[in-house]
Chains A and B, each alone.
Chain A
Amino acid sequence: MKRLVPMWIAIIAGFVMLLSTFFPITESLGETVGEIFNVVAAIAFVLGAGSLAKVNLAKISRRDQGWGYAAITLICFTITLVVGLGKIGVPQSTQFPLLGWSGEKDAEGSIFGWIYEFALVPITSTMFALLAFYVASAAFRAFRAKNLEAILLLSTAFIVLLGRTFAGVVLTGWLPDWASGLRLENLSVYIMQVFNTAGNRAIIIGIALGVTATSLRILLGVDRSWMGSGD
């Protein structure tokens, strides 16, 4: 029963969406399924929050390696949730002055807005910026011209890396107009628009065929791996 009900929900919803794409008469049914999905997606946030609390509490209670990080995660999560839901420090909305709690949770001066601006933005930006350092280290250690394929990859990388900056203009900007196609900035565009497009289209077509086959297996109830292996 635990597996049968989700399977039938997936089959019915899947077929409704499929039919609504091809037959306008079933469009409203597809719309209803879409709305249901949006509600379920919103509820999934609550489920996600519950799962986060469960996993981290278990880590803390077992004193697993790095349990301190789990504690920090839970503390930060709780603080953000409380100040966001409680709209702590939120000024009253000028649009609805008579209604309590009508201000925006992230309005200027609110704690939630402060957390966003001074904690979330710098932390996420820093995490993303760290990539540059690790990519540089990886390029030094792993990018080797071992064979013909690697040499082609390296040459392409050099053209795109130089062509996407002013270095390309400085190095090849002197080329006459009749040879402008050989300028690094133009070569970079050519690589992206021709070789990259051709390769990506092949991949997209392959993925589309794979998705069609997998979707059909799910819709027909043949593939049930998406439900997990638990009872």
Chain B
Amino acid sequence: MSKFITILEGLDRRWIFLAMAISVAGPILFIGITGKTLPETPTPTARAVYKEIEALSPGTPVLISFDFDPASGGELTPMATSLVHQCAARGLRMVFIALWPLGPQLIDETIKRVILADYPNLKEGVDYVNLGFQSGNESVMKVMLTDFAKAFPITKNGVAVGDVVALKGIQRVDNFPLLITISAGYPGAKEWIQYVISSSGGKIKMVTGCTGVQTPGLYPYYPVQLNGLLGAIKGAAEYESLVNSSLAPKDSSAAVPAKYLEAQRRMGPQLGAHLLMIALIILGNIAFFAQRNSKVRATS
């Protein structure tokens, strides 16, 4: 036992790094080979996101803000995919914007992955439009409250917004009945609530998908200012399972494409990493108490 404690006390952190690599790589390989994912039970916050989008009638404009960059892509890309998937299936008019400089590229990738691949009937500029990035953070939000075209005068392709059919009837941000933001930090979901939702007097509803770090800070706004919340990859997996089950092909033998299972596939590595963390905390505490007891014995 004492030898085990000695090993624990002097454990090189590279062993911990190796254990983490194995606990993450193992489930990735297993899921990659077998194609099996863990079952998900959606929580009320994920159900709320699904319901808010489902409640809109086809042709309704929705504002989708990509407020993240590739660094958070592991957590947020799967939920961006599922959100656009549900909006496209529902036939909503999708207006994409970004308040982070690398957002427009992520929008293009999502459009390519979901809309161009599976909804080729949707027309750019009519059923969806990418307005690109605008600098200014909260100030852009404030301008959108009074004049949307001033905040985003042209599309990413350089077309004046006045000529874009998808933006017909949009003068102010509160002309959108629903705002969807995929947020990794500042500016993000919190700023949208503080500057747009609070000022719109309940005209616009908002749902968000955010990183695990942001999630605890957004719970206080749910369900009044924030109508739905997808917290980290867990929230993404719950929402993804909801969307997949509702959009399941009539031919039940057809498999769901891997791109629509990304969040559920990532719950495997998350399970491995969480179990390792718990094991490490327990082992660290065993070493700590053993050391403390030996010190007490030595002094007495």
Contact = CB atoms under 8 A, between A and B. Distances in A.
Interface residues of A, number: 60
A148 to B, nearest CB: 15
User: Chain A: interface secondary structure?
Assistant: helix
Interface string B72-95: 111000000000000000000000
B274 A167 contact: yes
A164 B271 CA distance: 8
A96 B163 CA distance: 15
B219 A157 contact: no
A213 B80 CA distance: 38
In this complex, the member of A102, A162, A166 whose beta carbon has the largest number of chain B beta carbons within 10 angstroms is A166
A165 B73 contact: no
A136 B135 contact: no
A177 B157 CA distance: 55
Interface string A171-202: 00000000000000100010011001100110
B60 interface: no
A136 B280 contact: yes
A136 B220 contact: no
5 contacts: A41-B139, A125-B73, A136-B280, A144-B284, A165-B271
B20 A104 contact: no
Contact of B284 (A28, A121, A141): A141
User: Chain B: interface secondary structure?
Assistant: helix
Interface in A128-146: 128-129, 132-133, 135-137, 139-145
B19 A132 contact: no
What are the 8 A-B residue pairs with the smallest beta carbon separation, nearest first?
Answer: A38-B136, A124-B71, A140-B280, A37-B139, A165-B271, A166-B38, A121-B70, A41-B136
A128 B74 contact: yes
Contacts of B222: 193
Nearest to B75: A128
Given A31-B143, A133-B20, A192-B215, A162 B71 contact: no
Interface string A20-33: 01000001101100
A16 B275 CA distance: 53
Contacts of A121: 70, 73
Contacts, number: 155
A137 B159 contact: no
Given A41-B137, A132-B20, A165-B270, A124 B277 contact: no
A83 B102 CA distance: 16
Given A140-B16, A158-B278, A124 B283 contact: no
B184 to A, nearest CB: 10
Contact of B43 (A96, A124, A189): A189
A147 interface: no
Contacts of A38: 134-136, 139-140, 143, 151
Contacts of B158: 93, 95-96, 102
Given A35-B143, A136-B19, A167-B275, 9 more contacts: A34-B142, A38-B135, A93-B157, A95-B159, A116-B102, A139-B277, A141-B284, A143-B285, A196-B219
Contacts of A167: 271, 274-275
A133 B219 CA distance: 27
B39 interface: yes
B48 to A, nearest CB: 12
In this complex, the member of A34, A95, A158 whose beta carbon has the largest number of chain B beta carbons within 10 angstroms is A34
A79 interface: no
Interface in B119-139: 134-137, 139
A127 interface: yes
A28 B142 CA distance: 11
Contacts of A35: 143, 150
Contacts of B271: 165-167
A132 B234 CA distance: 16
A192 B280 contact: no
Interface in A63-104: 93, 95-96, 102, 104
